[in-house]
Amino acid sequence: MAKGRKYGGRKAGTPNKTTADVRAALALIAQGNVHAFESWLLAIQNPAQRCDIFLRVMEFSVPKLARTELTAPDGKPLGLPTEERNRIIDSILALIPSKPDSVRVPPNVDEARTRK
């Protein structure tokens, strides 16, 4: 065999059959116990431990999102001009029928609106 050349075997990206079979079996076990999971969680007395277990289980069904940071070509952070940012915030707030108490607009946004 020539150095650096691969002959036979799986192509890149093809899942391992054993791994795929094990994942499928675990998925069936999980699906069969969904109805019991809530009672198992409620049986745990410590709320912090209950939350920790719930979050660990959730990682198997909802993958974590990687943090993405956008930068300008020169490497500096991207930023919107204040007027553009306020226009976007105003258009989003306009979609809310009445501004509930739980929605807090940052103080600098309200200050920018009054300076117009």
Distances in Å between the Cα of 14 and the Cα atoms of 10, 19, 20, 27 are: 6, 11, 10, 20
What is the total count of domains within the chain? 2
- The answer to whether position 52 is within a domain reads yes
> Is 22 inside any structural domain?
yes
Packed helices 34-42 and 17-32: angle between N→C axes, nearest 10 degrees: 70
Q: Where are the beta strands (DSSP E) in 1-116?
A: none
Residue 74 counted as domain residue: no
d(CA 59, CA 61) in angstroms, rounded, equals 6
pLDDT at 6: 67
Residue by residue, pLDDT tens for the chain (116 residues) are 557 776 777 777 777 788 888 888 888 888 888 888 888 888 999 989 998 988 888 887 777 778 777 777 887 777 778 888 888 888 888 888 765 555 565 555 545 455 54
Residue 77 placed within a domain: no
In a domain, 75, yes or no: no
Q: Which domain holds residue 102?
A: 82-114
Tokens found for residue 92: 């989003």
pLDDT of residue 2: 59
Q: Do 57 and 87 have their domain in common?
A: no
Are residues 86 and 55 part of one domain? no
Task: Report yes or no on 55 lying in a domain.
Answer: yes
3 located within any domain: no
DSSP secondary structure code for residue 78 in this structure: P
pLDDT the model gives residue 43:
92
With respect to residue 39, please indicate whether it lies within any of the assigned structural domains.
Answer: yes
